[in-house]
Amino acid sequence: MADEFDRFLKSALAPPERMPDRKFVARVQAGVGLEERLAAQKSALVGDLLKQLLALAAVAAGLWFIGRAEPVASWFTQSPAAGLAILLVGFGSLVALLGQRPLRGGALSKLNAS
């Protein structure tokens, strides 16, 4: 009786004998593909962001260097508000110029397209 029950229990609880479920495998593969695409887009976004931060730092350093030059520095002393406004406008224009280019052809547009 005990042997018969053990056999029953083992056979009843064992995984069923069947071929692999192709639909399920395809479902998992689709999930893997999606993860891969998202990971690629994420790393592209991070790369774009780093490039933009680097460009901004370069622009800021350039403006700071120009601001230290003798003629500019004296002009700043005479009219600091106008000087600051011009610097900000220049900085903003360069930021817009440098910041837009990678985003158009880069990760954000790919992300939007998918």
Partner 1 sequence: MHRSNDEDLALSKRAARGDSAAFAMLVEKHERPLRSFLARSFGSDAADDIAQDAFLKAWRAAGQYDGRARYSTWLTRIAWRCRLDALRKRRSDEVAEAPAEGSVGLAAEVDDMLARLSNTERVSLVLCEGHGWTHAEAAELLSLPLGTLKSTVARAKAKCREMWEEASNG
Residue closer to partner 1 (CB basis): 1 or 96: 1
- Token digits for 85? 């406004």
Determine if 32 is a binding residue for partner 1 (CB under 8 A). yes
Residue closer to partner 1 (CB basis): 8 or 64: 8
Determine if 3 is a binding residue for partner 1 (CB under 8 A). no
Determine the straight-line distance between the first and last CA of the chain, rounded to whole angstroms: 62
> Are the C-beta atoms of residues 109 and 103 closer than 8 Å to each other?
yes
The amino acid sitting at 88 is: L
Determine if 29 is a binding residue for partner 1 (CB under 8 A). yes
Among 3, 21, 70, 113, binds partner 1 (CB under 8 A): 21
Phi-psi region of 15 (alpha: psi -120 to 50; beta: other; left: phi over 0): beta
Determine if 8 is a binding residue for partner 1 (CB under 8 A). yes
